[in-house]
Amino acid sequence: MTARGVRTGEDAEDLDVEEALALVNESAGHFPGDGDSNGPGNGHGDTPAPGGAASAGHATPGHGLSGHPSGCRTSAGAQSAGHGPGPGTGPATAPHAHGAQADPHGHARAVAWPAAREIAARAVRAAARRSPVSVPLDAALGLVLAGPLAALTDLPSFDTSAMDGWAVAGPGPWDVREGGSLAGHAQPEPLTDGEAVRIATGARIPQDTTAVLRTEHGRTDAKGKLHSVRDPGHGQDIRARGQECRTGDQLLPVGTLVTPAVLGLAAAAGYDTLTAVPRPRVDVFVLGDELLTEGLPHDGRIRDALGPMLPPWLRALGAEVAAVRRIGDDAKALHRALTRSEADLVVTTGGTAAGPVDHVRPTLRRMDAELLVNGVQVRPGHPMLLARTKENQHLVGLPGNPLAAVSGLLTLAEPLLRTLAARPAPEPYTLPLRDAVHGHPGDTRLVPVVLRGDHAVPLHYNGPAMLRGVAASDALAVVPPGGLRAGQEAELLDLPWAAAGIGVCFT
C-alpha cells in the first residue's frame, strides 16, 4: 500500500541500545514509552486500573468498569459498533472479539488497536446521525456533500473566448471593427465574413465567429487590416457552451469533501448554498487541579498542553468545538457537565485511570453509560476509553499525558468523528522506515515520523508526556507488537494538517 492515507506507529524509534535497555528496566507490566505510567503530563498519570488492562468486552461477573462492582454497561468488541447488548450483559461470551485479550482468570482485557478504531468508526447509531443542512458557500468548507452536486446551468453558459485577441469571421485578412467584446458585456453584434473585432478572455463570442485569433498571432498593417502570423483553425480558442457540463449533469457525488475547488465549481454551476452534513459538535472538558493556563510551571503545577492543542486538532478533524471547560478534579462538576452537555461527542482529558482523583470511570458508572472500548492495546495511550453516554452522544476519555492523548485522539475520536461527519476514510498507505523501531511485546506503538523521500524517519522525544516529536512530525507510524526493522514497511497515519484536503477544516 503506497498511497497516502492513514496509519500509526509508536515511540521507540531512534533509541540506541543503552537507551532502550534503560527504558526496559521500568516497573513490571509497563514498557518503555507505553504512556501508562504515572509521570508528568496533562494532569493525571495513566496507570491502568487494578487487575491489568481495563475491560474491553462484556462486563465480567460482578464487575463493571475497571473491575469495580456493578459498573457501566459494556458491549463486546464485536458488537459495540452501535449494536451491542443492552444493560447487564453479564459474562463475556467472546473474550477475543475484535482482538481483545483474555487473562488466565477469564477477564476481558484491552482491545487491539485496529479493533478499537473499527469499533469507534461503527459506534454511531442512526439516532446520532445529524440531518443534512443547507449551508452558504462561505461556511461549507470541510463539510461533506449530503446530496449530489448537479449543474444548475450549462458550463460555460454561452460561447466564450478562451484568449485575448480578435474574434474573426472567415479567412483573413480582416477589417477590424471599432469597439470590442469584453467579459461581462451583452451579446455583441454578429460578424460578417472578412470582419474581426477585439475580444477579451471570457467575453461572449459574436454570432458567426469562426475562430479567435490570439493577440500574439495577429498584426495590423498601415491600412488597418488584420493579418495572422499563424492562421487559426475553425473554432480555435472558442469555449463552446456546455463544453464542461450541461444543465442537470451530476458534477460530484454524495459524500464528496467540500474543498476550495469544490466551492469554486459549485459557484460556477450556479449554487449559493450546498446541502451538507453539519460538523459534529464537540465539548472538551479539561480535568486536573494541577493545570496552569499561563506562565511557567511552579509549586508542583504544570502547564495545560491539551487545552490549547485539542480544539484546533478537533476542528481539523471536521468538528465544531462548542465548548472548552476546565473542570479540575471535581467529580460533581464533571457529572453535572456531562449530563448537561448536548454535544455529539464529549472529549475529556486525564482522569481515565484508577487513581483517587480519576473521576471519569466512576462518573460514567453513575450515568449508566454503555462502555464500548475500555482500554486499548496501544502505547502510549493504553487507558483511553470510548462510551455511549446517551443514544445520540459519545464520550472519548483521553489519557492525561500529551502524546498519550494524541494517541487516543487518533485511535478513537478521529474514526468516530469521521462517521459523524460522513467523511470518507483515508486510503491506507505504507512507507519503509529508515531506522528500526523497538516494539512492545503485545501492543501496537504509535511513533512520530517525518517523511523524507520514500522513507519515514522515526523521531526522538516520543515519550507519553512529550510533544516535541509529534510537533515536528508529518505522521505517526503504526508499529506492530515486536517492532519493525530498518527498511520494513510501516503503516502511517497522516496528521490532519499534513493530509491533503483535511487542513481546510481549521476554520
**pLDDT-derived band of residue 293, with 50, 70 and 90 as boundaries?**
confident
Instruction: Please give the Cα distance from 451 to 52 (Å, whole number).
Output: 36
- Express each pLDDT in 437-459 by its tens digit: 999 999 999 999 999 999 999 99
The average pLDDT across 367-385 equals 95
Domains of the chain: 17-129+279-420 (3.40.980.10), 133-154+244-277 (3.90.105.10), 160-239 (2.170.190.11)
pLDDT at residue 162 in the model: 95
| pLDDT given for residue 133 in this prediction | 95
Looking at per-residue confidence, does 400 or 63 come out higher? 400
Residue 102 scores a pLDDT above 60 = no
Q: Give the residue-averaged pLDDT of 226-245.
A: 93
pLDDT per position as a tens digit, 5-60: 333 333 333 333 233 323 323 322 333 333 343 333 444 444 333 333 333 333 33
Provide CB contacts within 8 A for 331, sequence distance 6+.
359, 362, 363
The C-alpha atoms of residue 229 and residue 218 are separated, in whole angstroms, by: 6
Residue 136's pLDDT is what?
A: 98
Q: What is the pLDDT of residues 268-286, one digit of tens each?
A: 999 999 999 999 999 999 8
| 73-87, 126-140, 359-373, 472-486: least confident range | 73-87
In the structure, what pLDDT confidence band is assigned to residue 289 with cuts at 50, 70 and 90?
A: low
Distance separating alpha carbons of residues 35 and 53, to the nearest angstrom: 13
Whether the pLDDT of residue 305 is over 70: the answer is: yes
- Assess whether pLDDT exceeds 50 at residue 104: no
**Does the pLDDT at position 205 exceed 70?**
yes
pLDDT greater at residue 326 or residue 11: 326
Lowest mean pLDDT, pick from 314-318, 371-375, 498-502: 498-502
Judged on CB neighbours under 10 Å (0-12, 13-18, 19+), 120 is buried
Question: What is the percentage of the chain residues whose pLDDT exceeds 70?
Answer: 76
Span of 70-74, 328-332, 340-344, 453-457 with lowest mean pLDDT: 70-74
State the DSSP code for 151. Answer: -
> What is the CA 344 to chain-centroid distance, rounded?
16
> Do residues 97 and 372 touch, judged by C-beta distance below 8 A?
no
Whose cell is 468516530? That residue is 416
pLDDT of residue 73: 59
- pLDDT value of position 184: 74
Helices (H), 48-202: 113-121
Q: Which residues of 99-113 are buried (b: 16+ CB within 10 A; e: fewer)?
A: bbbeeeeebbbbbbb
Regarding predicted confidence, which is higher, 129 or 27?
129
Give the confidence band of 176 by pLDDT, cuts at 50, 70, 90.
very high
- Grid coordinates representing 57 are 468486552
| Whether 56 contacts 118, CB under 8 Å | no
pLDDT band at 166 (very low <50, low <70, confident <90, very high): very high
Per-residue pLDDT tens digits for 343-355: 999 999 987 877 7
Contact (CB, 8 A) for 452 and 435 = no
DSSP strands (E only) in 402-459: 430-432, 444-452, 455-458
Average pLDDT, the chain: 79
Pairwise CA distance, residues 334 & 413, whole Å: 20
- Contact call for residues 311 and 323 (beta carbons, < 8 A): no
Q: Please report which confidence band the pLDDT of residue 470 belongs to, taking 50, 70 and 90 as the band edges.
A: very high
**Up-side HSE of residue 14: CA atoms within 13 Å toward CB?**
12
- Mean pLDDT over 121-131 rounds to 85
Q: Beta strand 302-303 with 291-292: parallel, antiparallel or unpaired?
A: parallel
Which residues lie below 8 Å from residue 446, measured CB to CB, with a gap of 6+?
8, 9, 10, 11, 378, 379, 380, 381, 406, 407, 410, 411, 476, 477, 478, 479, 493
Written as nine digits, the cell of 67 is 473491575
Beta bridge partners of residue 484, listed in sequence order: 437
- Determine which of 102-116, 161-175, 241-255, 483-497 has the lowest per-residue pLDDT on average: 102-116
Mean pLDDT (whole number) for 120-134: 88
pLDDT at site 89: 33
Q: Which of 108-117, 258-267, 290-299 is most confident?
A: 258-267
Mean pLDDT of 231-255: 94
Rounded-to-integer distance, Cα 112 and Cα 102, Å: 11
Rounded CA gap, 461 and 43, in Å? 19
Do residues 160 and 206 touch, judged by C-beta distance below 8 A? no
Of 390 and 290, the structure prediction assigns the larger pLDDT to: 390
> Residue 178: what pLDDT?
87
Residue 34: predicted pLDDT: 39
Side-chain-side CA neighbours of residue 28 (13 Å): 2
pLDDT, position 88: 34
**Hey, is 7 helix, strand or coil?**
coil
Q: Which residue has the higher pLDDT, 464 or 499?
A: 464
Residue 302 has a pLDDT of 76
pLDDT for the residue numbered 170: 94
For residue 68, pLDDT over 50 is answered with: no
Contact by Cβ (8 Å): 431, 456: yes
Spatial separation of the C-alpha atoms in residues 97 and 95, rounded to whole Å: 6
| Listed range (177-186, 195-204, 422-431) with the worst mean pLDDT | 177-186
The contacts of residue 40 (CB under 8 Å, 6+ apart) are: 302, 401, 465
CB count in 10 Å sphere of residue 289: 13
- pTM summary value: 0.73
Q: What is the DSSP letter of 437?
A: B
